[in-house]
């Protein structure tokens, strides 16, 4: 089964499939949001709204462990996630999609592992799934918009946006885009041996990359504008 962890703006992807059921799972890490089980053609898909429906759960309060564990309980072995990001690079523009191939973790206080009582060190030399990234890249050919193949995802704790000094530091460190929801999700998926890819949707230039202040309205407006292409991209990555 394929899992989708949808950020803001992709909840209507469920309308593209045949909904079988919707259920809350009781994981050892707490309750999951309602997970929709559906089929796209004959492919079974489990969709989980990362922020819960209605977007009432900010990035630093999301129960990432319950979300990933719930998908594992359903038999998911591959996850396509979506994440809104700001761009650190003038040539990667609002409206573009990007598939990260590495990350820098600047989160601070999130439960970040399933292994608090066992010594387990997972390898993250290649944190994102190459095979899924290739499938998504192929699907991008039939969807509107540019897809940047590769880049370093910087995850901040939020909920505030970054300072210009932070953005300068992230650029010097090799960061490409910055967001608040990609970690620890990608690592938790690896801990449970699931293949994980993220489709990042660039909603804005990061602080100081453009002279304008960032507003959450511009982030939501761009997500609204691109949600059709984003859901099409996910759909064609699954049904190909």
Sort strands 18-23 and 97-99 into parallel, antiparallel or unpaired.
Answer: unpaired
Indicate whether 81 belongs to the interface with ligand HPA (CB under 6 A).
no
Q: How far is the CB of 222 from ligand HPA (least distance, A)?
A: 9
Indicate whether 176 belongs to the interface with ligand HPA (CB under 6 A).
no
Indicate whether 17 belongs to the interface with ligand HPA (CB under 6 A).
no
Indicate whether 203 belongs to the interface with ligand HPA (CB under 6 A).
yes
128 in Cβ contact with 186 (< 8 Å):
yes
CA distance 84 to 223: 8
> Segment contacting ligand HPA (CB under 6 A): 22-30, 44-52, 69-77, 202-210?
202-210
* H, E, C per residue of 171-196: HHCCCCEEECCCCCHHHHHHHCCCEE
Indicate whether 214 belongs to the interface with ligand HPA (CB under 6 A).
yes
Indicate whether 86 belongs to the interface with ligand HPA (CB under 6 A).
yes
Q: Which residues contact 121 (CB under 8 A, 6 or more apart)?
A: none
Applying CB under 6 A, among 140, 178, 192, 238 the residue interacting with ligand HPA is 178
Minimum CB distance to ligand HPA smaller for 76 or for 99: 99
Q: How far is the CB of 181 from ligand HPA (least distance, A)?
A: 8
CA distance 10 to 40: 15
Indicate whether 180 belongs to the interface with ligand HPA (CB under 6 A).
yes
Neighbours of 57 (CB within 10 A): 15
SS3 call for 11: helix
Interface contacts to ligand HPA, rule CB under 6 A: 84-86, 156, 161-162, 178-180, 203-204, 206, 214, 219
């Amino acid at each position: 089964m394929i899992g989708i962890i949808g950020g803001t703006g992709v909840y209507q992807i469920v309308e593209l499939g045949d909904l079988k059921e919707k259920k809350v799972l009781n994981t050892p890490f707490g309750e999951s949001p309602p997970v929709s089980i559906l089929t796209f053609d004959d492919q079974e898909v489990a969709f989980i709204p990362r922020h819960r429906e209605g977007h009432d759960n900010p990035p630093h309060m999301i129960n990432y462990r319950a979300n990933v564990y719930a998908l594992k309980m359903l038999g998911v072995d591959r996850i396509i996630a979506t994440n809104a990001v700001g761009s650190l690079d003038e040539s990667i523009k609002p409206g573009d999609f990007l598939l990260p191939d590495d990350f820098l973790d600047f989160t601070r206080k999130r439960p970040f592992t399933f292994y608090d009582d066992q010594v387990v060190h997972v390898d993250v030399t290649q944190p994102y799934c190459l095979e899924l990234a290739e499938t998504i890249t192929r699907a991008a050919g039939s969807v509107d918009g540019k897809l940047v193949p590769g880049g370093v995802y910087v995850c901040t704790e939020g909920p505030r946006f970054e300072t210009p000094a932070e953005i300068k530091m992230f650029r010097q460190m090799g960061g490409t885009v910055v967001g608040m929801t990609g970690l620890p999700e990608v690592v938790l998926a690896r801990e449970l041996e699931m293949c994980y890819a993220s489709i990042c949707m660039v909603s804005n230039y990061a602080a100081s990359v453009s002279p304008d202040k960032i507003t959450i309205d511009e982030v939501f407006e761009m997500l609204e504008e691109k949600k059709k292409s984003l859901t099409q991209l996910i759909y064609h990555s699954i049904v190909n």
